[in-house]
Amino acid sequence: MKITFETPKTVAEIAAVFLSFTPVRDPMLKSRLSFWTDRYGDKPLADLSADDVDAALAELETSPGPSGKMLSGPTINRYRMAAHSLLRFARQKRLLPRGWVSPFDHIPQHKENPGKVRFLTPDEEQRLMDAARVQSWVLLPLLIRLAIVTGLRRGALLGLTWGDVILDDSTPHVRIERTKNDDPHVSPLTPDLVQEFRRMRRIKAKDCDLIFTGKHLDRPHDFRHGFNEACKLAGIEGVTFHTLRHTSCSRLAQAGVDILQIAEHAGHRSLSMTRRYSHLCVKGRANTVNAVFAGG
């Protein structure tokens, strides 16, 4: 029996292949891709036009989101980035004609509003850790501490297996095969994390087993309720899990670490993402200024 394979061509077909072959770190990617496949799923991706993109973006700008509120500019940009990820995948797999021009070209993005970066003070971190220890999921304190030390995104943390944690080394670390930006990444571990990882590892755990699981060992645990309850118990407001990533980068900036090193720590491809912490780098700049100009 001869097996034939048809090259995916439509938006929906290529999106299905993309999702099946690509480790998805962003839990919202699938739903944002669905926005595009619901409207243009039957259309060949190569035929997607600038008019199609304009119409879709206009719909996002004028229609309330799932919460009933109008979508912000940065949120609309996330829908756009989901489509960009699909186009990048299609180019890499040569599913688009050579020389094909993206319909997103020359369509400006909404302005990103970085706002004020919320990060935890050392006292807030301690209160959060204390509150996490009384939650039902025993791995929550380890997850929180690991997020603060490494600055890794939630998707990368939840995708960690025991084989990704290197403890018997001169420099203990966790390794991420592919981050949200499709780059490999290594994050050093502190001694307290090394000790906690060794304490938490199950005797029969295999290197391929996920670390942050609950009763279902084949998928990451949904820790959102426990995290929110810990924040309430700690009396901490205006905090999401992503705040822990901001905390990691902000602590480095406050300690005088330069922007390039913080960008490497966070896995930022562009320094524009890291500059939100530059106002905290006073100590590092002060040391530089004094070293150059205060000699005597």
Bridge partners (DSSP) listed for residue 187? 174
CB 83 within 8 A of CB 104: yes
Render the burial of 83-99: b for 16+ CB within 10 Å, e for the rest.
Answer: bebbbebbeeeebbeee
β pairing state of 185-188 and 165-166: unpaired
Q: Is the pLDDT of residue 4 over 70?
A: no
- pTM beyond 0.85, yes or no: no
**With bands split at pLDDT 50, 70 and 90, how would you rate the model's confidence at 24?**
low
Burial class (CB in 10 A: 0-12, 13-18, 19+), 200: middle
| Euclidean distance between CA atoms 189 and 171, whole angstroms | 8
- Least reliable range by pLDDT among 50-54, 60-64, 91-95: 60-64
**With bands split at pLDDT 50, 70 and 90, how would you rate the model's confidence at 180?**
low
Among residues of the chain, what percentage have pLDDT more than 90?
Answer: 58
Residue 186, phi then psi, degrees to nearest 5: -125, 130
Q: Chain-wide mean pLDDT for the chain?
A: 88
Render the burial of 24-49: b for 16+ CB within 10 Å, e for the rest.
Answer: ebbeebeebbeebbeebeebebeebe
